Structure 1
Amino acid sequence: MNTGVKITAFAAALAATFGAAYGLGTAAGPVEEPAKPAHTEHAAPAREGEGGHSAHEEAARGPAAGGLQVSEGGYTLALQTPRITAGRSVVAFSVKDGEGRKVTAYQTEHGKELHFIVASRDLTVYRHLHPVRAADGTWSTPVDLPAAGAYKAFADFTPAGEGARNVTLGVDLPVAGTYAPRPLPAATTTARVDGYQVALGGALTPGRPGRLKLTISKDGKPVTDLQPYLGAYGHLVALRAGDLAYLHVHPDKGGPGPEVSFTATAPSAGAYRLFLDFRHQGEVRTAAFTVHAGGHGATPEAPDGHTH
């Protein structure tokens, strides 16, 4: 994934809700200098005349959201485990090209050939996973999902080859069993996870770049020794409530805390769920926020105090 803001044609799910998800990560090496300038967004290329909209109208609506399609740009996300069970399972999948062949060559971005996200449709569960690829192009990863329900999986990758563009594909991933969807968590400017407090500043604005600043503290003291995770001091994913349109953002240049900032553009007005992954003392944690872009109470309100 590209450094800086990255609206991949990824799972368009900029959803505005989700309980602070939680994951474990392996140690990362020194922070890598971004291969591409910060503030560069990756989005599906605009299609002239699509839907009868003028270029001016398209610009006013903001960048295209990603992750809304299972096939795009000549690539298809094919699940080999189209349904799993709650608890610990293994998800297997492949990316196929236009000829139906499994893709086996990718560009490495932020230390990985492919980033795999699983989120519940109600945005209360979020997992950022790093699957392993077999020689034949089959990817697999364990995933621990707390309950049955409707989930969506996203694959974010750039195929090998000069001039290849980043692609984000999305596919439904049902988890068998009876479930009741939960409401979107209330808008908040503070999230708490495992004794850490993360404060959110800034705004997400439709069609216009906006800066988001997240400040991390623990036990009332600022955290100034964040550790690199995927080549940076923070990793932000935003999903849009309703369709789970996906916006992938990487941080602006900065030090190891307590502030991590991002520049992002919302593709439309609406509610979004933000998920910040950060690494401290050898462990990756995820803080989650609900925000509104354009109208609908654009300023986040009281903290939800949830830990997931």
Structure 2
Amino acid sequence: MPKALTIGGKSFDWGSRTYIMGVLNVTPDSFSDGGKFATVDAAIAQAIQMVRSGVDIIDIGGESTKPGATPVDEATELARVLPVIEGMRQHPDTQHIPISIDTTKASVARSAIEAGADIINDVSGGQFDERMFETVAQLGVPYVLMHMRGTSATMQQMTEYDDVVGEILAFFEMQIDRAVNAGIDRAKIILDPGIGFAKQYQQSIEIIRHLDRFEILDLPLLVGVSRKSFIGKILNQPDPERRLWGTSAACCAAIARGADILRVHDVAEMVDVSRVADAMFRN
């Protein structure tokens, strides 16, 4: 695995510790915090709080990817994310923090990077926009490649696997080859197995139990378990905001199995979880 990757001027030294990516949804319909940060002022205030809590990257998304979410057009997505990126780059408390743009659209990714974002987080893994890999290669930025099947509307009907981890591995191998052939630097790819995306709750647990199988690909691993439905299923807790302790347990398990980055809503709490887990599970 590459020893380090520079994102927004910050060095990420893989294996040294767990890095925290904070979720900043600037949408009205995200599954756990929809509408809370839909104004620029609220979003920047949340970003400042994340920075003070020890976040390493802030991931800004302008289109919900929850099951059944309504797609939005490019103009709507840009109107949501660009003012927040620009505002963060102008604010002294957030101007230094690496920014990730959570999008499946190449045009949105390009505009966000030009506005000051540093890394592209694509939940489709290059499947939704045929221009994505070419765009990432031209921009020369790091890229999070996630596994999913179908779309937000259809993914929960596409959960049949013979070997869920093995099939995700095969998908990664195929998409990494496509990305590299398009000109993306392999050392700038980060993999995300897509917990909850076209996976039943038992499959999400299986993926976390066997994250170490992805080590064969020799790339850093991002894991997003925060507040997700498999935790709600285990706890019989329908309210995503009341899944903090379950999220903590899942994050700890992910670190024990080799996660390099955790994508989370509750930054301060997961910074503490990762520090303790790192002391236990990392050299």
Using the size of structure 1 for normalisation, the TM-score is 0.28
Larger Rg: 1
Higher relative contact order (CA 8 A, sep 6+): 1
Query: 1 or 2, which has the higher strand percentage?
Result: 1
- TM-score between both structures, scaled by the size of structure 2: 0.30
